[in-house]
Structure 1
């Protein structure tokens, strides 16, 4: 397939308000991988906007269910897709509580106003039941994660599942910016909030498991399979 990593994400469906916002916020259509013009905030140049979205743009608009992983030795894409399809068939759609713009440790993200036990359980099954397809994290990857400072439980998750923030430490969010300095973050939040507010009046429903792939050329992740739940 020509992808170096895969991930299982929430991705809003085409023509949904959140999908359309994401395309022009990040300048990438996750359905095709096509580059698009971005729509900077008032008072922000293209260069300023590019800096604001630099880190999350690589992953396109998404909410993480199973974080990015390299295929384990002896596994292949077709088997992964089949496993995701089998899992999706046993899951039901989840309606999220209304989203809002939140400061998450220095970056801005859309987060549900209330936690969802159903969403946590769904993400947990993605993490655990698809883990046979994940190549174990290297020592370098583990040390890089640890440098951020982890709790004992997060460190245990890292060693067992390759990522700290899963299972009991799972917090669903849709990242919109890189980590920003306080003053810049406040300015961006003030101008971004009115842009996203109309989008967030529509219910956000997780209806699919989206298998995203990271192309070998390093371009942003895109959807390689969208599999409806149930």
Structure 2
């Protein structure tokens, strides 16, 4: 029996960007440990904790295949083997223009311009590992408020277990809760001088990460798979 409640396939950064992201969110997905918040003028640690309370437990990441319960006829080892095979046949993806600080639907985040190879990577991970996903329960489906979704998003929800996949996918690395516009802009202003020097152009997605959700709802890196196709 798995020790994880759910699994997900993420992009997780490496190096200085990963270190800052872990500090900013207060949780290091790679080590599975709480992290001290950074020292930022006019933004004390308790304020950072308040505005990052939602993404804290997920760690610094971009979702490629959203969290899912493991199917009864699957196993963690078979999921890992599947991802290893996918990664061997998948080349790295360079994002022209790199990542940028922006506000996405009220959330401060790192985003990028639409890039077909990146969407194709996420779509491939969603579809070619979907046999490991347990069917979406009625309560989980209702939690997505299907009546408020577009017809395409409802199709994705029913087919893939999540509305914002395939052509609805938008790459983003969440940096805070949904905030009023002035607060979100203040967060970006505080982050800009610290993050911009850490963002290469192009930004290259060289690996994908299998993550697991523990019984307290925090996500941990299980294994990183290099894209070597």
- Once the two structures are superposed, the pairs formed by residues 190-229 of structure 1 within 5 Å of their partners are 190-201=189-200, 203-218=202-217, 220-229=218-227
CA distance in 2, matches of 1:134, 1:146: 21
Question: Contact (CA 8 Å) 1:25, 1:40: kept in 2 or not?
Answer: no
Shift of 1:229: 1.1
CA distance in 1, matches of 2:147, 2:180: 17
CA distance in 1, matches of 2:201, 2:170: 21
For the structure 1 residues 187 and 148, does the alpha-carbon distance in structure 2 shift closer, same or farther, using more than 3 Å as the test?
farther
Shift of 1:39: 1.1
Question: Contact (CA 8 Å) 1:41, 1:49: kept in 2 or not?
Answer: no
CA distance in 2, matches of 1:47, 1:137: 36
Shift of 1:183: 2.4
Shift of 1:76: 0.9
Deviates more, 1:152-161 or 1:193-202: 193-202
Consecutive unaligned residues of structure 2, counting only runs of 5 or more, are none
Tell whether 2:6 aligns with 1:2: no
Question: Contact (CA 8 Å) 2:126, 2:160: kept in 1 or not?
Answer: yes
Task: Report the equivalent of 2:107.
Answer: 107
2:58 partner SS? coil
Task: Report the equivalent of 1:132.
Answer: 131
Task: Report the equivalent of 2:46.
Answer: 47
Task: Report the equivalent of 2:120.
Answer: 121
Deviates more, 1:85-94 or 1:35-44: 35-44
For the structure 1 residues 148 and 12, does the alpha-carbon distance in structure 2 shift closer, same or farther, using more than 3 Å as the test?
farther
Q: TM-score, normalised by structure 1?
A: 0.93
Consecutive unaligned residues of structure 1, counting only runs of 5 or more, are none
Deviates more, 1:36-45 or 1:152-161: 36-45
Q: TM-score, normalised by structure 2?
A: 0.93
Shift of 1:66: 0.4
- Once the two structures are superposed, the pairs formed by residues 1-230 of structure 1 within 5 Å of their partners are 1-13=2-14, 16-97=15-96, 98-112=98-112, 114-146=113-145, 149-201=148-200, 203-218=202-217, 220-230=218-228
CA distance in 2, matches of 1:110, 1:223: 20
Which 4+ stretches in 1 moved above 4 angstroms? none
1:58 partner SS? helix
Q: CA RMSD in A?
A: 1.5
